[in-house]
Amino acid sequence: MNRPQALNDIYDRLLARFGPQHWWPGETPFEVMVGAVLTQNTAWSNVEKAIANLKGQGLLDPARLFALPPPLLAEQIRPCGYFNLKAARLHNLLSLIAGRFDGDLDRFFATPLASLRQQLLEVKGIGPETADSILLYAAGKPIFVVDAYTHRLLSRHGLIAEEEADYHQIQALFMDALPADPALFNEYHALIVRVGKEYCKKTGPRCGECPLPAPS
Ligand code: SF4
């Protein structure tokens, strides 16, 4: 089986076992975008607490959040860890939206994929995984998100060499193998996270119970 066939087969098997994952949690694209920044290096349950704080204070709005000085923003998002760093990153992102898009989220999300991606990557503290999570899950653009779960699964199944860890190479594997469909990319990434959390753990993969055939 070649790599495109293998990636399609993995998707079919994961979907057959787990069903649709209904990602990303968030009531609005803005909430999804904020969550994508806050989730760096922390569990989602901590992000939920931080977002609940922002909602409770009526701050989950681009203009109000941008007007909040970063030290005060950091206090609100304290539960998600690295709160000073994340407050600065969030403020940088909000500065992009305020400065280049007059705070207009519709204009921001309507920007063509390549241009918006480039602008996101120019924001200090926003790397490829966060940028692509915003593009896919908040803006609905056809871009595949790669994370540690993706790398581990592909590596264990021999679809990438251990040293072939480059984010964009792995992303290209998926995007070359699959139709450019945001709903499909959304579902596939969510399924990889699911199998990564439940079976393909960092130490002690549970291949015997996993929906995928164990690597030979
Ligand atoms: S747990 Fe085993 S079979 Fe499942 S994805 Fe990981 S390596 Fe593959």
Q: Which of 152, 162, 210 to mutate to test the pocket of ligand 1 (most atoms within 8 A of CB)?
A: 210
Per-residue pLDDT band at 104 (split at 50, 70, 90): very high
What does the pLDDT read at residue 78? 95
Write the DSSP assignment of 71-133 as a string of letters: HHHHHHTGGGSSHHHHHHHHHHHHHHHHHHHTT-HHHHHHS-HHHHHHHHHTSTT--HHHHHH
Percent of the chain clearing pLDDT 90 (strictly above) = 90
Question: What ligand 1 atom has the least distance to the C-alpha of 195?
Answer: 5
Q: Over the chain, what is the mean pLDDT?
A: 94
- Is the minimum distance from the CB of 89 to ligand 1 under 6 angstroms? no
pLDDT at position 178 over 70: yes
Question: What ligand 1 atom has the least distance to the C-alpha of 206?
Answer: 1
What does the pLDDT read at residue 165? 74
- Is the minimum distance from the CB of 6 to ligand 1 under 6 angstroms? no
Range name among 90-104, 156-170, 198-212 with the lowest pLDDT average: 156-170
Residue 30: count other Cβ atoms within 10 Å of its Cβ: 18
- Is the minimum distance from the CB of 158 to ligand 1 under 6 angstroms? no
d(CA 34, CA 40): 11
HEC per residue, 4-53: HHHHHHHHHHHHHHHCCCCCCCCCCHHHHHHHHHHCCCCCHHHHHHHHHH
pLDDT at position 185 over 90: yes
Residue whose token pair is 């203009």: 63
In this structure, the residue with its CA closest to atom 2 of ligand 1 is: 207
Query: Which amino acid, 28?
Result: T
What does the pLDDT read at residue 35? 95
- The answer, as to whether pTM is greater than 0.85, is yes
d(CA 186, CA 204): 27
pLDDT at position 164 over 70: no
pLDDT average, residue stretch 206-216: 94
